[in-house]
Structure 1
Amino acid sequence: MEMSELRALLTPAGLELLDGTGEVGSTAEAAAAVSRLRAAGHSPDLVSAVVGQAHLRAKAAAKFGPFAARMLFTRAGLEQATRLGVAARHAQRLRSAGMTAVADLGCGIGGDALAFAGAGLDVLAVDADEVTAAIAAYNLAPFGDSVTVRHDTAEDALGEPRPGRAVWMDPARRTSGHSETRRVAADDYSPSLDWAFGVAARQPTGIKLGPAHDRDALPDDAETQWISADGSVVELVVWTRELARDGVRRSALLIRGDRSHELTAAADAEDAPVRDLGAFLHEPDGAVIRARLIGDVARSLDAGMLDPRIAYLTSDTALTSPFVQSFRVRDVLPMNTKGINAALKANGIGRLEIKKRGVDVDPAAFRRTLTLKGDAEATLILVRIGDRRRAILADRVSAAD
């Protein structure tokens, strides 16, 4: 969004027009809305802003639920924003650590700041981009004097440490035009990671990073927490000083709807021994894999590694865990379409989920080689075990709550 569009939108008439436009979920709906609003005599800048925001609000419902209907966004800001359910848990950690205020440096459109303010913290929200800071100010306006929004750099806005105040950072590079956000090399973040980690060494800090961030580049004395939401690993948070829990250096936090499950450890877990494929196959959640806590999960299930290089576990028991997706093994086949098709036909399988690990296969292309007829469903797991490629036909087992 350009500043001219934002100025056109941030008027009583502009906001009323946005609220009356309704949901714009598709390209066809966007085109129809543009034609309708232009025919009504509205300016190009206002029409562009209104239709763009109506479309972003529709997309934002997945992260912000009903709150999205009164918020403003940039595309980059929405892509980077923390889901509200995840942000609420960040806020809870700050409150549990005795914090009363937080400096949110690189606040974006204000996703985390919304949760911080909602938890009763005084918030200083800072963003170096003028349009993004203005949108954050709009989104955070309902909290009144408890939130201050500033257009500034993180380095200039932070100031001296204050008792009871935490720091929250989401370092990233935002491209011009507010059209996309990409994660970049460690020395090319804004603010730089060297500066961010320096602040974190002196003040209680949470730093949000991409879940694939280089583990060797993380501070040794921090708590590192990988978070997955509804099955997708969404972020890595580095917690320091009062915000890091005693004895915890690795954490995998799984959020499913309004429930959460967490696995913590003082260090990376030692892998479990390799064992032959049993009656069940278990796929650890991505956060467990990133946190390198697979061994702890394996021991909790009395399971072993299927292969030392593959993040699958196996056992003979039907025990389930919130930290894995479990599958009951039906059959183990060589990875060739003739044998697999014969098994699919014999079992009347017409709906098939395909998963793969350790094999160079495109699941979509592989599916086109299969014949699916019948009312039954199953999962086909393509995997390397030792030096052999295998196809495991299996059924999902309901996860533990």
Structure 2
Amino acid sequence: MDSAELARLLTPEGLRLLDSLPPYTAGGGSDQVASLRRAGHPAELVAAVLTQARLREKARAKFGEFAERMLFTPAGLEQATRLRVAALHAGRFRDAGAQRVADLGCGLGSDALAVAALGIGVLAVERDEVTAAVATYNLAAFPDAEVVLGSAEQQPLDGVDAVYLDPARRTTGTGQTSRLTRPDDYTPSIDFAFGLAERLPTGVKLGPGFDRSLIPTGAEAQWVSVEGQLVEMGLWFGSLARDGIRRSALVLSRDGAAELSAPADSPDAEVRSLGDYLHEPDGAVIRARLIGELAERAGAGMLSEGIAYLTSDAPLASPFATSFRILERLPASEPALKRALRERGVGTLEIKKRGTDVDPAALRKRLGLRGNRTATLVLTRVAGAHEALLVERVTQ
């Protein structure tokens, strides 16, 4: 979206037309274009509202029904915090007693929106003109939310008692962008963010794969997964960090929220012999290095040193892991495995792997599966040796 497209959209005609559209459906775009053009709407406006309708539909995964009253850019939506997660961020500022929060690099304003909804004043700063205009629209319902076009590094913080930053981790632009892999290239920079944290309560949202060696000693690091998808790592400083917690895995699902936390990385559990069950920890638990903490609670051991699978003699009913019942130990060599699966009539195969250099899609093709049975295969190491385990999910 460029400034001209946004200007067309932010007119009474544009907004009325956008809100009048039925829910966006893939494949129906050409029919909608023709219908809107026959109704006399300019081609440029039709393109703008249909693009926005498509983004709103995509945004439902992050914003639910609120997406229908928001505006988006493709790049902004890619990095925007899910509203459910943003609400948890906002709760930290409320619990810390913050009165006015600076959201430096606010993007579309999702985190600022969640903070403002709690009655906390917000100074939202965004350097991209189009994105700042979209954030202004999204925050218009909150009189104590101010959007400023400018640089996070140069923004005065008078009257601000806490800061939130979601550094841009993609190349500049509002359309298709590419991911930045070096923290030094983020905007604002990591050094700037950590410098602010030395003088103000600060929250910093980063990708879940952020280099752990760069995490400051005094920060609380929390990895968050939503419906099994690892979505972010948050660093919290000062009064926004909780006493005694430096590592946390927050798991959000349809059933609610569950958290596993510790004062530091937990050491891995001891390797034990293969039990009747295999457990796959949630990605947030793995990234937070709390597998040992989970193993201790579950009475489980490591399947093999350095492999993020646990095993026990009993199923594990936990939001922090998926349990599988081990049905058989199959031959690990590909020709023997192929024969074994054919003998069992397996035609549809889910392949999970850890600790082995296998491309599941390529292997599945080479296996030439035939049959009407569906199965799950785990390729991994057990006590250091390569194994193929035929398993089934344990439903909780």
Q: TM-score range by the shorter chain?
A: over 0.9
Taking the aligned partners of 2:358 and 2:192, their CA distance within structure 1 comes to 42
- Paired AA for residue 55 in structure 1: R
Q: Deviations over 1:311-370 (max 9, x none)?
A: 111111223221111101000112245544554455554543221112222212222224
Taking the aligned partners of 1:177 and 1:142, their CA distance within structure 2 comes to 24
Structure 2 unpaired stretches of 5+: none
Cα drift, residue 91 of structure 1: 1.0
- In the other structure, the counterpart of 2:270 is 273
- Using a 3 Å threshold, how does the CA distance of structure 1 residues 255 and 53 change in structure 2: closer, same or farther? same
Question: Contact 1:224 / 1:237 at 8 angstroms: preserved in 2?
Answer: yes
Write out aligned runs for 1:206-221 (5 A). 206-221=203-218
Question: Contact 1:298 / 1:313 at 8 angstroms: preserved in 2?
Answer: yes
Is 2:233 the partner of 1:236? yes
Higher helix share: 1
Taking the aligned partners of 1:347 and 1:254, their CA distance within structure 2 comes to 36
Match of 2:378 among 368, 377, 381: 381
- In the other structure, the counterpart of 1:75 is 74
Question: Contact 1:283 / 1:324 at 8 angstroms: preserved in 2?
Answer: yes
- Using a 3 Å threshold, how does the CA distance of structure 1 residues 330 and 258 change in structure 2: closer, same or farther? closer
- In the other structure, the counterpart of 1:398 is 395
Question: Contact 1:72 / 1:139 at 8 angstroms: preserved in 2?
Answer: yes
- In the other structure, the counterpart of 1:9 is 9
Taking the aligned partners of 2:245 and 2:203, their CA distance within structure 1 comes to 15
SS at match of 2:28: helix
SS at match of 1:85: helix
- In the other structure, the counterpart of 2:247 is 250
Question: Contact 1:103 / 1:158 at 8 angstroms: preserved in 2?
Answer: no
- Using a 3 Å threshold, how does the CA distance of structure 1 residues 177 and 241 change in structure 2: closer, same or farther? closer
- In the other structure, the counterpart of 2:127 is 128
- In the other structure, the counterpart of 1:307 is 304
Give TM-score scaled by structure 2 length: 0.94
Is 2:127 the partner of 1:139? no
Cα drift, residue 244 of structure 1: 0.5
The 10-residue stretch of structure 1 (216-225 or 257-266) with the greater mean CA deviation from structure 2:
257-266
- In the other structure, the counterpart of 2:326 is 329
Taking the aligned partners of 1:344 and 1:161, their CA distance within structure 2 comes to 67
Taking the aligned partners of 2:356 and 2:281, their CA distance within structure 1 comes to 18
Give TM-score scaled by structure 1 length: 0.93
Write out aligned runs for 1:151-300 (5 A). 151-160=149-158, 162=160, 165-172=161-168, 173-180=170-177, 182-257=179-254, 259-300=256-297
SS at match of 1:154: coil
Taking the aligned partners of 1:62 and 1:42, their CA distance within structure 2 comes to 30
Cα drift, residue 156 of structure 1: 2.3
Question: Contact 1:334 / 1:389 at 8 angstroms: preserved in 2?
Answer: no
Q: Deviations over 1:221-276 (max 9, x none)?
A: 11011111110110000000000111111111111126111111111101111112
Taking the aligned partners of 1:257 and 1:273, their CA distance within structure 2 comes to 33
Taking the aligned partners of 2:328 and 2:117, their CA distance within structure 1 comes to 51
Question: Contact 1:99 / 1:166 at 8 angstroms: preserved in 2?
Answer: yes
Q: Deviations over 1:122-170 (max 9, x none)?
A: 1111110000010011111122x121111111122242464xx321100
- In the other structure, the counterpart of 1:47 is 46
- Using a 3 Å threshold, how does the CA distance of structure 1 residues 100 and 372 change in structure 2: closer, same or farther? farther
SS at match of 1:98: coil
- Paired AA for residue 144 in structure 2: S
Taking the aligned partners of 2:58 and 2:190, their CA distance within structure 1 comes to 30
- In the other structure, the counterpart of 2:33 is 34
Taking the aligned partners of 2:74 and 2:385, their CA distance within structure 1 comes to 45
The 10-residue stretch of structure 1 (270-279 or 31-40) with the greater mean CA deviation from structure 2:
31-40
- Paired AA for residue 9 in structure 1: L
Match of 1:353 among 345, 350, 355: 350
Taking the aligned partners of 1:69 and 1:130, their CA distance within structure 2 comes to 22
- In the other structure, the counterpart of 1:319 is 316
Taking the aligned partners of 2:92 and 2:336, their CA distance within structure 1 comes to 52
The 10-residue stretch of structure 1 (342-351 or 385-394) with the greater mean CA deviation from structure 2:
342-351
Cα drift, residue 38 of structure 1: 3.2
Identity among equivalent positions (%) equals 54
SS at match of 1:153: coil
- Using a 3 Å threshold, how does the CA distance of structure 1 residues 359 and 161 change in structure 2: closer, same or farther? farther
Taking the aligned partners of 2:118 and 2:376, their CA distance within structure 1 comes to 42
- Using a 3 Å threshold, how does the CA distance of structure 1 residues 177 and 137 change in structure 2: closer, same or farther? closer
- In the other structure, the counterpart of 1:371 is 369
Question: Contact 2:75 / 2:173 at 8 angstroms: preserved in 1?
Answer: no
The 10-residue stretch of structure 1 (363-372 or 388-397) with the greater mean CA deviation from structure 2:
363-372
Question: Contact 2:247 / 2:261 at 8 angstroms: preserved in 1?
Answer: yes
The Cα RMSD (Å) is 1.8
SS at match of 1:176: coil
- Paired AA for residue 22 in structure 1: P
Cα drift, residue 387 of structure 1: 4.9
The 10-residue stretch of structure 1 (339-348 or 266-275) with the greater mean CA deviation from structure 2:
339-348
SS at match of 1:297: helix
